[in-house]
Structure 1
Amino acid sequence: MALQQIVQETVTGLGYDLVEIDRTAGGLLRITIDFPWQPGSELFINVEDCEKVNRQLQFALEVDGVAYNRLEVSSPGIDRPLRHEKDFERFVGELIDITLKAPMGENAVGLVSASRKKFRGTLERTAAGDGWQIVWSDEPVGKPGQRISKKRIPAPLNALGFALDELREARLAPVVDFKGRKPKVET
């Protein structure tokens, strides 16, 4: 059986989603897992979850004779990769970083450079609902305590529509708020 299939079956059999498999030249096998997404659910992978998957994978890989020197099982972290359509659906409205496979070229509009490939902004569905877009402002971030004139005109919002096959990489933007979790807003 192939490595991908062994890991996929083992991880999903334990009730988790397989996010990524990374195999390095030094024999490291890194598996990234997460809970299956359900709207409104905020479950986080903890050490016990990683340990449970690690033990089961060690057994499954040994039975099938897969060679590796070290096995690591971890959560996706704050800069979680987005690879599949369901990942994008899950993180609509979140701040993400994307890198395009090719520069914008002739599709560049307004003040956006034609050679630009990297963007950070909010992930949204397109108005038609059949694609994705990232919305951002190139306004500089204000410093704490900095006074900003009320007369200042804010920078316009930019939007870039994209298809998943145009992306080299997409990740959640690693923004850390040291003030703790915010209370849930009741809808």
Structure 2
Amino acid sequence: MSKVIEVVEELVSPIVQDMGLELVDIEYVKEGKSWFLRIYIDKEGGIDIEECGIVSERLGERLDEVDPIPHNYFLEVSSPGAERPLKKEQDFERAVGETVFVKTYEAVDGEKTFQGKLLAFNKETLTLELKVKTRKVEKEIPFDKVAQARLAIEF
């Protein structure tokens, strides 16, 4: 699977760069009996359906030429949505000041999931402001222990 993602990233990167967009993520997954190749793109201010359509069309042509996937699959190009995943260092840097959800590989002070305001990020540590009952506390999470992270919507 990772080989497919590598090839697709090589094919889609120049397309999104030419359009002034950002490649947020690529997923290649099997759901039920069907395979899905999902491309998530974004830009400052958000993207629209037309931009998704153009990327889909151009990438579809390149995928037909290179043919890196030996079976049928569905190609989906979309925005990452309001709860955008945070994967690259620059994603975390941009998210400072935002509410985030973080899941770790191993427990940090007895917990593996955290949701709070991202106060700071450096290449080694995330600093979150968490609400614990009626007070706010700061929690440092080692970056190398982060399994998953995304923006979170607070209600």
TM-score, normalised relative to structure 1 = 0.70
Q: 1:4 to 1:136 in 2, by over 3 A?
A: same
Contact 1:94 1:122 in 2 (8 A): yes
Q: Residue in 2 aligned with 1:32?
A: 40
Letter in 2 for 1:2: V
More helix by share: 2
**SS of residue in 1 equivalent to 2:101:** strand
Q: Is the 8 A contact 1:10 1:60 kept in 2?
A: no
Q: 1:48 to 1:122 in 2, by over 3 A?
A: same
After superposition, the CA RMSD in angstroms is 2.2
Structure 2 residue 27 is matched with structure 1 residue 22:
yes
Alignment check: 8 A CA contact 2:55 2:77 kept: yes
**1:161 maps onto 2:140 in alignment:** yes
Residues 1:75 and 2:83 aligned together:
no
* Structure 2 residues without counterparts, runs of 5 or longer: 1-5
2:50 maps to which residue?
48
Note the 1:97-108 alignment, pairs <5 A: 97-104=101-108, 108=109
How big is the shift at 1:96? 0.6
Larger-gyration structure (1/2): 1
- Given the superposition, is the C-alpha separation of residues 66 and 85 from structure 1 closer, same or farther in structure 2, using an over 3 Å criterion? same
* % identity of equivalent residues: 31
Query: More strand by proportion, 1 or 2?
Result: 2
The Cα of 1:78 is off from its aligned counterpart by 0.9
The residue number in structure 2 matching 1:93 is: 97
Residue 127 of structure 2: aligned partner: 133
Paired residue type of 1:84: K
| Structure 1 partner of 2:3 | none
Deviation readout 1:140-175 (Å, 9 max, x if unpaired)? xxxxxxxxxxxxxxx332211123221010111134
Residue equivalent to 1:171: 150
> What is the letter of the counterpart of residue 66 of structure 1?
P
AA partner of residue 107 (structure 2): P
The CA deviation string for residues 59-96 of structure 1, in whole angstroms up to 9 with x for no partner, is 11111123342110000101100011111111111111
Mapped to 2, the partners of 1:50 and 1:166 lie a distance apart of 33
Aligned to 2:107, what secondary structure does the other structure show?
Answer: coil
